[in-house]
Amino acid sequence: MSAIILGHKNPDTDSIISAIVCADLYAKRGLDVVPAAQGAPAPETAFVLERFGLKAPEVVDSVAGRDVYLVDYSDLAQAPADFKDAVLKGIVDHHKLGDVTSSAPVECVIMPVGCTNTILKGMYDFFGFEIPANLAGAMLCAILSDTVIFKSPTTTEADRKAAAELARIAGVEDVNALGMELFTAKSAVKGATPKSLICRDFKDFNMSGSKVGVGQLELVDLSIIEAEIPALLEELGRMKSEGRHTAMLLLTDIMKEGSLLLMASDEPERIAKAFGKELAAEPLWLDGVLSRKKQVVPNLEAAFKA
């Protein structure tokens, strides 16, 4: 049976495109692999697949007995529940090292860059394979998405260089315009339930024994979502009651470059303090905060260790 290349839960554009791209690259290397995803594409990813004529990967929620390559994560919490019964074959990722382990040697390419697709671009170069134009366009979109059009502090020189080369291969002339189209697609909130908005990009973290869930919705303008805030808070309260210490949602304004923090928490003061704030006025505005990975998770980890 083919090995599975699988992105994280609540798949974002990077995790879905990484699986598709990695499958192309590994097939060129002679490996028997299929891309998969732990869910259907969100609106932004659907835009990318449609624009570049790609098919959504098969949705998989069980991997018992399969060989698995992880892309865009290495945490058990982000993997299917029966991952312990699978065989880990490799990882390509750009997050902090997670807690998966293996019983045999694995191929790991983990680098502190802004996007998994930046690493994959480097891997095509390393193995000497050409990147098909449509995959290059999708990879470019993944980089634009993860780096918030190069505004996120997670952006590195490697991301800019990979994006420029991918734009050339894909024949994309105006990279910023493509980025705005992407985030406009991502900003589609009409008709979506509060739960689906929170879960579009939601990750649970183990913070010194406390389960903390952090969702993020990146929008071109927060006014799109203002009327939904009470319903979102209500849903966060429900999600907190599912065994979480805190359920939070970052409403990130990519033009104003900051995030509004909505939360339901056992210790809201502790969360506010993690960002140097008093819990005076809710929701909290976190100026300059665009990255969950670099500007939110480390603060929370420090606050929960204290």
Size of the site for Mg ion (CB under 5 A): 6
CB of 95 to Mg ion, least distance (A): 7
CB of 142 to Mg ion, least distance (A): 7
- Residue 282: Cβ within 10 Å count: 13
Per the CB < 8 A criterion, the answer to whether 238 and 197 are in contact is no
Give the residue nearest to Mg ion (CB). Answer: 14
Query: Torsions phi, psi of 36, nearest 5?
Result: -150, 165
Sketch the per residue contact string, 87 through 126, with Mg ion: x for CB under 5 A, - otherwise: -----------------------------x----------
Measured from the CB atom, the residue of 252 and 265 that comes closer to Mg ion is 252
Q: Does 24 bind Mg ion (CB under 5 A)?
A: no
Query: Where does this chain touch Mg ion (CB under 5 A) — which range of 7-15, 32-40, 152-160, 207-215?
Result: 7-15
Token pair belonging to 100: 């998966």
Query: Where does this chain touch Mg ion (CB under 5 A) — which range of 64-72, 82-90, 169-177, 240-248?
Result: 64-72
Positions 213 through 252 that interact with Mg ion (CB under 5 A): none
Q: Identify the residue among 3, 4, 6, 14 touching Mg ion (CB under 5 A).
A: 14
Q: Identify the residue among 72, 75, 159, 204 touching Mg ion (CB under 5 A).
A: 72
Mark out the alpha helices in 64-156 (DSSP H runs).
116-127, 133-146
Run of H or E including 284: strand 284-287
What is the per-residue burial (b if ≥16 Cβ within 10 Å, else e) of 11-24?
bbbbbbbbbbbbbb
Per the CB < 8 A criterion, the answer to whether 66 and 87 are in contact is yes
Is the backbone peptide bond immediately before 283 cis, with ω within 30 degrees of 0?
yes
Q: Does 44 bind Mg ion (CB under 5 A)?
A: no
Q: Does 15 bind Mg ion (CB under 5 A)?
A: yes
- Residue 60: Cβ within 10 Å count: 18
* CA dist., res. 129 & res. 107, Å (int): 18
Sketch the per residue contact string, 168 through 187, with Mg ion: x for CB under 5 A, - otherwise: --------------------
* CA dist., res. 136 & res. 201, Å (int): 23
Sketch the per residue contact string, 142 through 161, with Mg ion: x for CB under 5 A, - otherwise: ----x---------------
CB of 75 to Mg ion, least distance (A): 11
Per the CB < 8 A criterion, the answer to whether 148 and 254 are in contact is yes
Taking the alpha carbons at both ends of the chain, their separation in whole angstroms is: 47
Per the CB < 8 A criterion, the answer to whether 75 and 91 are in contact is no
CB of 235 to Mg ion, least distance (A): 20
Q: Identify the residue among 4, 5, 12, 138 touching Mg ion (CB under 5 A).
A: 12
Return residues touching Mg ion (CB under 5 A). Answer: 12, 14-15, 72, 116, 146
